[in-house]
Structure 1
Amino acid sequence: MEQRRGRLTVYLGAAPGVGKTCAMLDEARRRVERGTDVVVGLVETHGRAHTEARTEGLEVLPRRTVEHRGTTFTDLDVDAVLARRPAVVCIDELAHTNVPGSAREKRAEDVEVIRAAGIDVVTTVNIQHLESLNDQVERITGVRQRETVPDAVVRSADQIQLVDMAPEALRRRMAHGNVYRPENVDASLTSYFRVGNLTALRELALLWLADRVDDALGDYRRAHRIDHPWPTKERVVVAVTGGPESETLIRRGAKLAERAVGSELLAVHVIADDGLRDPGERQVARAQQLVATLGGTFHTVVGEDVARAVVDFATGADATMLVVGVSRHGRLRRLLTGSSGDRIASLAGAVDVHLVTHAQAGRATRARGAGSSLSTRRQLAGWAAAVVLPVVLTWLLQRFEDTDQLPLAEMLLLAGTVLVALVGGLLPALAAAVVSFFTLNWFFTPPTGVLTVAEPANFVALLVYVAVAGGVATVVDRASRRAAEATLARTEAATMGALSRSVLTGHDTAEAVVARLRETFGQDAVSLLARTASGWQVVAASGGPCAATPDEGDTRVRVDDDHVLVLTGDPLRASDQRVLEGFAVQTSLVLEYRRLRTREDRAAALESAEATSTALLRAVSHDLRTPLATMRTSVDGLVGGGELVGPDDRAELVRSLDDGIDRLERLIDHLLDLSRLEAGLLQPVLRDRSLDEVLPLAVAGHPPGAVSLEVDESVPMVRTDVGMLERVVANLVGNAVRASRSTGATPVRVLAHVLPGTVEVLVVDRGPGVPAAQRERMFAPFQRLDDSSVGGLGLGLAVARGLTEALGGTLEAEDTPGGGLTMVLAVPRAEPPTGTGSGTGTGVGG
């Protein structure tokens, strides 16, 4: 047999200290007195004497102990509860989080395990610990609850008891020391336990529990098949027709709902199930937004009988009042067919019906579908066929000598009526049916030549003919309109699908939207305008001439408060409005995407700048301090050494001071160069120059034998800035010399290769080299080859590449055959004089 699941009883406290734990223990004592096997699995007394007194006479199970970070904690022992297997167990504080290392994270999960074993559980929880109310409680009290329990756990309880107390009574209880220790009372009364906070928590508890009671009542009614309303609170249902009066009805319903505290506003719109489009979609959308603004809920149902559907919804929602508008139809139609308001009132039963008048009341409106979706040409052709076709068919039938032509004439004229319905719609088909009736009566129904019918059977046949012709024409017209609606809907769906895909891919632009809009609707020009302080500005345009202001266009559609789409060309049909609004929505998404991209780019730039600043500060704190420390030591030695400093030592100190100054100048120069490059302030002065003017100066200053300059005099001139190129080469040579010195390799070689359009300056070393995966990384600012070298901020190669790109060249790193690294600096060649060849050669290079 399947294991019985334990029942769950929850004592819900409106605030801490209202007495929920005492209420749980009082129930335990009552059950024990009735002979029920009850144990206390866990109770938190918080040192309160009156709470501890209520545990006397009850069996309290021992707690389990848990070690965590050197501290011993006690908690609920689920295994002990399962081993004891009582009928009921009391477990305090359902929202508690277990000690790390426990089998389950939350005490609520422990309770589920116990209930699964068939043991009833009585527990407690405060309203502020419910997950859905966590944010509201924080806004009210300013305190974030760290321990929460999902609402579904509490809602699943078989019984919920609210433990409540007036705020003033709870504050008196606290002042007497019955809740917190005396040293904590004053702080609590002036912060969390203020009267306003307690009142708000109390209201949250009542409203939350009211929703739970609503759910239970609904379950009870469904279980007992109770269909009639049980009005437990005010629920006002507004019947939204989709007409211009919808907003008036909603506002009136909202006023009625405001009269009762805790009332609800519901709006319902019935969609007819005839498969035809609802002409009031835009009004319905506005009504839906209005209902949401007024705090109500909007519902849509499908039904053939509008009145019955509205009443069924109101009954199912336990409505106390129905708000219905006065019919817009004229008196004659209301007299013949009645009105939806009258039918709703007759079907509502116990639900009150509030009939609201409005500006459109009593104004005759065209029946839905009376307007034809066919073109004017087809309608004119249908009217012409309605007159001509019966005449032509009659003339043809008169050519036959058979006297009994009535059945054949009826069939042919009926076919003609169907043909007219296909061509021109319903009204021409009805006209063709009437014309056919008189034609049959005059020419084919005895006695012919008069409108008199001798035989009753013939008269019935004529009447049946008219009825069948009208019915067939109606069916054909409706089918035709449905086909037209389906075609239009398919076209709109395809267009909207394409728009959705373009938005999802994120590749669409404002220019692409206006171009597609112009193509879709065949407009002469489409422009997207933005409102600025000085007037309207064109953001994107397609075709021409484009409108520069909304008033210059033929059709306008609002995108948002600051943007509008303006179309110039043939006026659009009303059926195109929904697709046009889809374009407006896409345009707003594109603009929002553009704004997000701009913010993302700005954020990325700020993030990059922050990373650069952080790296700079970290590097400056060390690398600038090193030469300064060297210089300070040298100066102290020179100034304070006196006679103890010999000539050799003095020369060494001066050399160290000079090296420190050089290194400091180099670091500062790199920082300035990098900042100028990033700001775009460094502009080269390009002239035709020979490498003989640059390379000797760039390699000077190194110890003899450290650098080998191997450039032939035949190397052509380059287009460059001498100073910037010298700094680039000097930087590369300096790095290469330091790398070669670390391995004791051969001197650094500086070569030149002549290529079509460029001259490559090669700086070749035999040092340790750089792995291919790190070569691009070493050109980034604040990157060093091994992240441990001293004497630089890691800006040298970043500055060198930036200067090279400013000169119109490139700087790359390659392997040196046999080991090492070769820096390849490509510099643009000077333009050869007119009439001379460019030539290609190779400079000297071992």
Structure 2
Amino acid sequence: LVEDLGGTFHHVIGEDVPAALLEFARGVNATQIVLGVSRRKGWQYVLGPGVGATVARESGPDLDVHLITHDKAGKGRGLATIPRSQLGRARLIWGWLVGVVCPVALWVLLGMVDLGLANGMLLFLSVTVAAALLGGLYPALASALLGSLPLNYYYTEPLHRLTISDPRNIVALVIFVGVAVSVASVVDLAARRTHQAARLRSESEILSFLAGSVLRGETSLEALLERVRETFGMESVALLERESDVDPWTCAGSVGPAPSVRPEDADVDMPVGDHMALALSGRVLPASDRRVLAAFAAQAAVVLDRQRLQHEADQAKELAEGNRIRTALLAAVSHDLRTPLAGIKAAVTSLRSDDVAWSEEDQAELLEGIEEGADRLDHLVGNLLDMSRLQTGTVSPLIREIDLDEVVPMALGGVPEDSVELDIPETLPMVAVDAGLLERSVGNLVENAVKYSPVDEPVLVSASALADRVEVRVVDRGPGVPDEAKERIFAPFQRHGDSPRGAGVGLGLAVARGFAEAMGGTLNAEDTPGGGLTMVLTVRAVDHRPDQATAPDLATASAERQAS
């Protein structure tokens, strides 16, 4: 009936019924409570107010309590609810054993030894205190009552009868029972306060964890749900959501076996807003735990929203990066492609013109311009294709053991001979690289260094061994790069400053690093002492050198790389 009317049914567990109801109501953000008046007789009000009156008194200004009466109100049977002790099960068992067995054993002992009334009372009081310390109020009451019987039987007139003729003995026995009850009450209260302190400490630690995770934004949804499962001892936890009241529930995240697919199927469900709920399976939680569970549920919703926002931000970043690359590519096409094409077009038009008689020297110069323009186009298109292969993950290095002094010189063909100094020791160990990729990487580094170096300052290309690695350094004396831009220059279509000679689209360094990482190496930028920039290409070294040269293998690898 409750579900047909659009409500939900919950089992509320608690040691104090009014407190459990109020905690549950506040946990689900309720504003009104409707209670039926309990059936209590007049004398029962001496033991304390009923559940309805207590709920109404403790509800505060945030909850409205409606009490519904009936014909049988005040006529039925019932007892006041007494909160259970917070003592553990083992302590209760030992308390009852001490409170019942020890008085019986002492009764037998007093039949054999005459200790006197004072000593007997002290002995039974000690047993009662022990029962109170172990089991709380009820075992102590049982011990006090059982202990008063042998004292009356053995030490009060008339002897060996359960009657008392001297009023002073009555006072002594009453005081004995009163002391026992007082001690038991103190122990029971201390146990309750200890339990409350432990619960509050646990709640504060959990809330501190949640607050810290909110500030740091470190906790994932799965980790948070696992923390919920461990905290409350559940079998599975699921965060469910739906678009509207008529849509089916979907699972946004879950941990544990067989998570619930609907809040109605779970042992505990905590709503979060109108269309989200935290569903726990395993056991029914007491109402006192729902406050912390509500904090977990709210945090789970925040984490889910943050993950989705982060995903959307990543997608937006990827789209923005794609737009930036397309814009840079269009700029490259409009300038770096059109410039050599315009030169080639002008040279071809001039050669085909019949209006001017070109000398052989002029024709050779025009043909040289056409060749240079074609080389620039070939280099640009090659870098664009290489960058595309790197971004799509289609680069498959062919790793072989080679000598650096056979590959690095081949990478210098695209720059003037007097613009580079080469220092490759013959004693270097061999390296495990793809010859074609290494040649393209070093070639791009050298071309970039020559482009930014002064005309009278040649670029130095050197190599050295360092443990199990070999470093190839390309050193220039150009303007250098600030520290904050050293990583940015390796991004596609990035150019730092103005080049004194030539231009480019900013793909050379990006392609060089991509090829280096594809071979298992690294490429980083460092400052050149005295000014300039040094590119450090690190590759893996091998611990032996074969007897025969690998030039044929290098030629084959280079041909394969160019064909691919």
CA separation in 2, counterparts of 1:540 and 1:792? Answer: 53
Deviation at 1:811, TM superposition (A): 2.8
What is residue 800 of structure 1 aligned with on the other side?
512
After superposition, the Cα gap between the structure-2 partners of 1:451 and 1:807, relative to the gap in structure 1 and judged at 3 Å, is: closer
What is residue 724 of structure 1 aligned with on the other side?
437
After superposition, the Cα gap between the structure-2 partners of 1:421 and 1:573, relative to the gap in structure 1 and judged at 3 Å, is: farther
SS at match of 2:165: coil
1:283 maps to 2:10: no
Deviation at 1:685, TM superposition (A): 2.1
Residues 783-824 of structure 1 show CA distances to partners (whole Å, capped at 9, x for unaligned) of 324246652112212221221221222334455667655444
After superposition, the Cα gap between the structure-2 partners of 1:384 and 1:621, relative to the gap in structure 1 and judged at 3 Å, is: same
CA separation in 2, counterparts of 1:385 and 1:771? Answer: 82
Deviation at 1:677, TM superposition (A): 1.7
Match of 1:672 among 385, 388, 404: 385
Structure 2: which 5+ runs fail to align? 9-15, 57-63, 242-247, 549-564
Structural mapping, 1:216-615, within 5 Å: 278-280=19-21, 283-286=24-27, 288-291=28-31, 325-331=35-41, 355-356=67-68, 367-391=80-104, 405=117, 413-456=124-167, 458-459=169-170, 462=173, 466=177, 469-470=180-181, 472-494=183-205, 496-498=207-209, 500-501=211-212, 504-508=215-219, 547=257, 577=289, 581=293, 585=297, 594-595=307-308, 597-615=310-328
Contact 1:387–1:435 (Cα < 8 Å) also in 2: yes
Deviation at 1:680, TM superposition (A): 2.0
What is residue 780 of structure 1 aligned with on the other side?
491
CA separation in 1, counterparts of 2:189 and 2:54? Answer: 26
Contact 1:382–1:424 (Cα < 8 Å) also in 2: yes
Higher helix share: 2
Deviation at 1:477, TM superposition (A): 2.6
What is residue 655 of structure 1 aligned with on the other side?
368
1:826 maps to 2:546: no
CA separation in 2, counterparts of 1:531 and 1:354? Answer: 33
CA separation in 2, counterparts of 1:577 and 1:604? Answer: 42
Equivalenced residue count is: 512
CA separation in 1, counterparts of 2:217 and 2:225? Answer: 16
RMSD value, Cα: 5.1
After superposition, the Cα gap between the structure-2 partners of 1:483 and 1:829, relative to the gap in structure 1 and judged at 3 Å, is: closer
CA separation in 1, counterparts of 2:438 and 2:73? Answer: 86
After superposition, the Cα gap between the structure-2 partners of 1:668 and 1:482, relative to the gap in structure 1 and judged at 3 Å, is: same
Return 788-797 or 387-396, whichever deviates more: 387-396
Contact 2:240–2:251 (Cα < 8 Å) also in 1: yes
- Counterpart residue type for residue 682 of structure 1: V
Contact 2:399–2:432 (Cα < 8 Å) also in 1: yes
After superposition, the Cα gap between the structure-2 partners of 1:471 and 1:635, relative to the gap in structure 1 and judged at 3 Å, is: same
Deviation at 1:424, TM superposition (A): 1.8
The percent identity for this pair of structures is 41
Deviation at 1:681, TM superposition (A): 2.3
Structure 1: which 5+ runs fail to align? 1-244, 252-274, 292-297, 299-322, 346-351, 542-546, 837-846
Residues 749-770 of structure 1 show CA distances to partners (whole Å, capped at 9, x for unaligned) of 5444455434444444455555
Residues 716-738 of structure 1 show CA distances to partners (whole Å, capped at 9, x for unaligned) of 54322232222222222323333
- Counterpart residue type for residue 19 of structure 2: D
Residues 166-212 of structure 1 show CA distances to partners (whole Å, capped at 9, x for unaligned) of xxxxxxxxxxxxxxxxxxxxxxxxxxxxxxxxxxxxxxxxxxxxxxx
What is residue 562 of structure 2 aligned with on the other side?
none
What is residue 58 of structure 1 aligned with on the other side?
none
1:627 maps to 2:337: no
TM-score (norm 2): 0.70
SS at match of 1:811: strand
Contact 2:344–2:373 (Cα < 8 Å) also in 1: yes
Deviation at 1:437, TM superposition (A): 3.9
SS at match of 2:142: helix
What is residue 90 of structure 1 aligned with on the other side?
none
Contact 1:537–1:548 (Cα < 8 Å) also in 2: no
After superposition, the Cα gap between the structure-2 partners of 1:468 and 1:277, relative to the gap in structure 1 and judged at 3 Å, is: farther
CA separation in 1, counterparts of 2:29 and 2:300? Answer: 21
After superposition, the Cα gap between the structure-2 partners of 1:604 and 1:439, relative to the gap in structure 1 and judged at 3 Å, is: farther
CA separation in 1, counterparts of 2:284 and 2:55? Answer: 38
After superposition, the Cα gap between the structure-2 partners of 1:649 and 1:580, relative to the gap in structure 1 and judged at 3 Å, is: same
CA separation in 1, counterparts of 2:423 and 2:123? Answer: 107
1:734 maps to 2:447: yes
CA separation in 1, counterparts of 2:284 and 2:217? Answer: 28
Return 494-503 or 421-430, whichever deviates more: 494-503
After superposition, the Cα gap between the structure-2 partners of 1:600 and 1:368, relative to the gap in structure 1 and judged at 3 Å, is: farther
CA separation in 1, counterparts of 2:225 and 2:338? Answer: 59
CA separation in 2, counterparts of 1:835 and 1:745? Answer: 40
Deviation at 1:745, TM superposition (A): 1.0
SS at match of 2:432: strand
SS at match of 1:454: coil
CA separation in 1, counterparts of 2:421 and 2:339? Answer: 30
After superposition, the Cα gap between the structure-2 partners of 1:574 and 1:565, relative to the gap in structure 1 and judged at 3 Å, is: closer
Contact 2:93–2:135 (Cα < 8 Å) also in 1: yes
What is residue 13 of structure 2 aligned with on the other side?
none
CA separation in 2, counterparts of 1:760 and 1:477? Answer: 76
Return 664-673 or 691-700, whichever deviates more: 691-700
Contact 2:489–2:496 (Cα < 8 Å) also in 1: yes
Match of 2:412 among 684, 690, 699: 699
Contact 1:754–1:760 (Cα < 8 Å) also in 2: yes
CA separation in 2, counterparts of 1:341 and 1:517? Answer: 33
After superposition, the Cα gap between the structure-2 partners of 1:489 and 1:335, relative to the gap in structure 1 and judged at 3 Å, is: closer
After superposition, the Cα gap between the structure-2 partners of 1:815 and 1:356, relative to the gap in structure 1 and judged at 3 Å, is: closer
1:791 maps to 2:503: yes
Deviation at 1:445, TM superposition (A): 2.9
Deviation at 1:612, TM superposition (A): 3.8
After superposition, the Cα gap between the structure-2 partners of 1:611 and 1:328, relative to the gap in structure 1 and judged at 3 Å, is: farther
SS at match of 2:375: helix
- Counterpart residue type for residue 811 of structure 1: L
TM-score (norm 1): 0.49
CA separation in 2, counterparts of 1:517 and 1:816? Answer: 55
Contact 2:133–2:187 (Cα < 8 Å) also in 1: yes
Deviation at 1:416, TM superposition (A): 3.9
CA separation in 2, counterparts of 1:667 and 1:430? Answer: 97
- Counterpart residue type for residue 328 of structure 1: S
- Counterpart residue type for residue 26 of structure 2: A
CA separation in 1, counterparts of 2:320 and 2:45? Answer: 74
CA separation in 1, counterparts of 2:187 and 2:231? Answer: 30
CA separation in 2, counterparts of 1:812 and 1:393? Answer: 88
After superposition, the Cα gap between the structure-2 partners of 1:633 and 1:279, relative to the gap in structure 1 and judged at 3 Å, is: same
What is residue 204 of structure 1 aligned with on the other side?
none
